[in-house]
C-alpha cells in the first residue's frame, strides 16, 4: 500500500484555514499515488487548543469543518485529527481527542486517544475523556491500528509507568497489519532522536510497519518539528521526513528503502537554529504581525536574536535600535552597526544619556543622602524599554526581548526594562548554548562580529561592568542550573556533583527568589526539556528549601 503522510502546519482554531490546508495536502498525496493519507494529532483544530476549547462554538465549528472534509474525501481515505464531543452519556470530561477515518464522503470510523498526558507542557485530562477501548479499523482487507500521540509512548521512554493501559499491545493482541500514529509532539533538543528509538522499538515488538505523522509549526511557546517517519517491521527507520518544514510524502509500504534513513540534523546548534526560526516566524505571522524590532547592544544575545529574526522574517522586516548609555563602549555601537549591515536590517542610534540625566534629576529630591546603585542601572534599562516600546507602538512592530535562560533563571535582567517585549526568542537558551549557536552561525563566514562573541559579556550600566562581577562563570552557572531547573535536583545532590556549596546555595536562592519576575516575562520559545513558562509551574510565595 502507498500511504501519504501530511506533515502540516495548522493554526489553532482556524477551522476554515486548517481544512483548506488539509485538503491541499490530501490532494498532493493523491497526486503521488497515495491510497490512504494520515495527518497529525488535532490537525483540524490545532494543538494545543487549551482553554479555547471551552468557547461555546469551538467544538461545533470543528465538527462542521470535519463534515465538510468528509464530503470532499472519496475513494482514498483520510485520517484526520480533531476535537470530538464526549457523547458517551457517562460522567467525565466533555470532549475527546479524536481521529476520524473519512471515506466515501462520510465519517467511516472514529478513534479516541486513550492515554492523556498531564506532565510537563501537557494538561489533556483538563479537557478530554480517554477512549475506553482500542480496536483496529478494518479497511480494504487491512486491519489498521490507529493511535494518537501519547498512546505509543511506552513506559520504557517515560521516567516511570504513568498508565495502566498500553494501546499498542491492545491493538497488537487483536491482530493489526499496520500501526499508525497521529502526533503533535513538541520539539526539545534530542527529541527527534528519542522518537526514532521509540518507533524502532515498537516496530520490532509488533512486527508491523509503524507510520508516525507529526505536526510542524510554532504555537505560542511550543515548536513542533515534524520529523515524521516510517519504521519497518525489522526496526529500521526506513523513511524520515525533513524537520521544521511542511512536507507531504507518499511512501510505498511494500517497497520500503533497504537502508536506514539518515538522522535528523545531527548538530545541536543547527536544530536549535531551525526551531527558533520556525517558532519566531509562526508566532509573528499567526499573531497578525508583519515585522519586529529589538535592541542591539553589541552583545551576543541581541546579535543571535537579530540573526534568527532576519532569517525568519526577512531583513526588511527587522528594525534594530542601538541605545548607547554614558557607560557604553564605542565598540558595542560599532559591533551593532556592523551586524546590522551584514544582515541588511535597519538599525538606528538613539542615545539615552540625556533622558537618563533628566530622570536622575527628577528623582534627586527623593534620593537625597543615598548613593547611586542598581537603581540607576535599572533606570537605563527601563529607558531603553520605553524607547523600544515606543518604536513598537508607532510602527506596529512586535518587540523581541533578547535575554537568555541563564539570566532569566537568576534574575539578571530588569523587569519593565530589557524584559519588555512580546516574545522572548532565546529565553530557553542557556548562555553557553548562545555561544555555541553563535559559532554555528559563523561556521562559514562572519555574520556576528567575532568581537561580539569573544569579548567578556557586559550590561554596560556602570563603569567597566562585566557579567562575571555579579555572576559565576557561565559554564559553571549553566551546569548547576541544568541540575536544579531541568533535573530537579536539590542542593545536596548538586553539591555531590562537585559544585561548591556556597555557589549552589546562592544560585538556588536566586532562582527561587525570581519566580515573580519570570511570571511577568514575555512568552519564550521552548527548545530544552524544561523551559520556564507553561511547562514549569512554581508558586511565587513559598518557603521550601531543598
What is the residue-wise DSSP string for 94-119? SEEEEEEEEETTEEEEEEE------S
The verdict on whether 41 is a catalytic residue reads yes
Given 29, 35, 41, 62, which residue is catalytic? 41
Given 62, 149, 293, 413, which residue is catalytic? 149
Closest of 389, 219, 225, 223 to residue 287, by C-alpha: 219
Q: Are 300 and 442 in contact (CB under 8 A)?
A: no
Report helix angle 353-363 to 374-395, nearest 10: 120
The verdict on whether 113 is a catalytic residue reads yes
CA-based end-to-end distance of the chain: 56
* Beta sheet of 36-38, edge-to-edge order: 106-112, 95-103, 78-85, 36-38, 2-7, 247-252
CA 285 to chain CA mean position, Å: 15
3 state SS of 413: coil
Residues 6+ apart with CB under 8 A from 294: 302, 305, 306, 309, 318, 319, 320, 321, 388, 399, 400, 401, 402, 421
- For residue 207, give Cα distances in angstroms to 87, 118, 175, 200: 35, 30, 11, 10
The verdict on whether 149 is a catalytic residue reads yes
Closest of 183, 236, 174 to residue 209, by C-alpha: 236
Residues 6+ apart with CB under 8 A from 450: 442
* Beta sheet of 292-295, edge-to-edge order: 346-349, 318-322, 292-295, 398-401, 423-424
Closest of 257, 256, 262, 270 to residue 241, by C-alpha: 262
Q: Are 395 and 289 in contact (CB under 8 A)?
A: no
Cell reading at 337: 552597526
Closest of 459, 419, 465, 422 to residue 297, by C-alpha: 459
- For residue 298, give Cα distances in angstroms to 179, 295, 306, 408: 52, 9, 11, 19
Q: Are 481 and 499 in contact (CB under 8 A)?
A: no
Q: How far apart are CA 131 and CA 341, in angstroms?
A: 56
Q: Are 181 and 147 in contact (CB under 8 A)?
A: yes
Q: How far apart are CA 451 and CA 332, in angstroms?
A: 9
Given 35, 113, 286, 377, which residue is catalytic? 113
- For residue 32, give Cα distances in angstroms to 8, 9, 100, 251: 16, 20, 22, 9
Residues identified as active-site: 41, 113, 149
Amino acid at each position: 500500500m502507498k500511504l501519504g503522510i501530511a506533515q502540516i502546519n495548522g493554526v489553532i482554531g482556524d477551522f476554515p484555514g486548517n481544512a483548506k490546508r488539509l485538503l491541499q495536502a490530501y490532494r498532493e498525496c493523491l497526486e503521488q499515488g497515495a491510497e490512504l493519507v494520515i495527518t497529525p494529532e488535532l490537525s483540524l483544530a490545532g494543538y494545543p487548543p487549551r482553554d479555547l476549547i471551552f468557547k461555546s462554538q469551538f467544538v461545533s465549528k470543528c465538527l462542521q469543518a470535519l463534515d465538510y472534509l468528509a464530503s470532499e474525501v472519496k475513494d482514498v481515505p483520510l485520517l484526520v485529527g480533531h476535537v470530538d464531543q464526549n457523547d458517551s452519556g457517562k460522567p467525565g470530561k466533555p470532549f475527546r481527542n479524536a481521529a476520524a477515518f473519512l471515506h466515501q464522503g462520510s465519517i467511516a470510523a472514529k478513534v479516541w486517544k486513550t492515554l492523556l498526558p498531564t506532565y510537563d507542557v501537557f494538561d489533556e485530562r483538563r479537557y478530554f475523556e480517554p477512549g475506553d477501548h482500542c480496536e483496529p479499523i478494518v479497511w480494504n482487507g487491512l486491519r489498521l491500528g490507529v493511535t494518537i500521540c501519547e498512546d505509543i509512548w511506552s513506559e520504557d521512554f517515560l521516567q516511570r509507568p504513568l498508565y495502566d493501559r498500553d494501546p499498542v499491545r491492545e491493538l497488537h493482541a487483536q491482530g493489526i497489519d499496520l500501526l499508525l500514529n497521529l502526533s503533535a509532539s513538541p520539539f526539545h533538543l534530542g527529541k527527534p532522536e528519542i522518537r526514532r528509538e521509540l518507533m524502532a522499538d515498537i516496530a520490532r515488538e509488533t512486527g508491523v510497519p509503524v507510520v508516525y505523522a507529526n505536526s510542524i509549526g510554532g504555537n505560542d511557546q511550543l515548536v513542533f518539528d515534524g520529523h515524521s517517519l516510517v519504521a519497518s517491521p525489522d526496526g529500521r527507520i526506513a523513511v524520515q521526513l525533513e524537520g521544521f518544514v511542511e512536507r507531504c510524502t507518499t511512501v510505498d509500504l511494500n517497497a520500503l528503502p533497504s537502508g536506514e534513513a539518515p538522522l535528523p540534523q545531527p548538530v545541536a546548534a543547527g536544530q536549535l537554529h531551525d526551531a527558533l526560526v520556525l517558532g519566531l516566524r509562526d508566532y509573528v505571522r499567526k499573531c497578525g504581525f508583519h515585522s519586529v524590532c529589538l535592541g542591539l547592544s553589541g552583545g551576543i544575545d541581541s546579535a543571535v536574536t537579530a540573526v534568527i529574526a532576519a532569517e525568519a522574517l526577512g531583513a526588511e522586516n527587522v528594525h534594530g535600535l542601538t541605545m548607547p548609555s554614558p557607560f557604553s563602549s564605542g565598540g558595542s555601537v560599532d559591533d551593532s552597526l556592523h551586524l546590522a549591515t551584514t544582515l541588511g536590517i535597519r538599525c538606528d542610534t538613539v542615545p539615552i544619556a540625556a533622558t537618563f540625566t533628566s530622570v536622575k534629576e527628577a528623582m534627586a529630591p527623593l534620593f537625597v543622602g543615598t548613593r547611586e546603585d542598581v537603581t540607576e542601572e535599572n533606570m537605563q534599562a527601563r529607558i531603553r524599554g520605553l524607547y523600544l516600546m515606543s518604536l513598537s507602538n508607532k510602527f506596529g512592530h512586535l518587540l523581541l526581548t533578547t535575554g537568555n535562560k541563564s539570566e532569566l533563571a537568576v534574575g539578571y535582567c530588569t523587569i519593565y526594562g530589557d524584559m519588555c517585549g512580546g516574545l522572548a526568542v532565546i529565553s530557553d537558551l542557556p548562555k553557553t548554548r548562545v555561544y555555541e549557536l553563535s559559532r554555528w552561525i559563523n561556521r562559514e563566514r562572519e555574520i556576528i562580529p567575532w568581537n561580539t562573541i569573544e569579548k567578556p559579556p557586559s550590561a554596560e550600566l556602570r563603569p567597566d561592568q562585566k557579567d562575571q562581577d555579579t555572576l559565576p562563570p557561565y559554564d559553571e552557572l549553566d551546569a548547576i542550573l541544568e541540575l536544579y531547573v531541568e533535573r530537579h535536583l536539590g542542593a545536596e545532590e548538586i553539591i555531590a556533583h562537585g559544585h561548591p556549596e556556597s555557589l549552589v546555595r546562592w544560585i538556588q536562592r536566586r532562582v527561587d527568589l525570581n519566580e515573580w519576575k519570570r511570571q511577568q516575562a514575555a512568552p519564550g520559545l521552548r527548545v530544552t526539556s524544561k523551559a520556564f513558562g507553561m511547562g514549569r509551574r512554581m508558586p511565587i510565595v513559598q518557603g521550601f528549601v531543598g
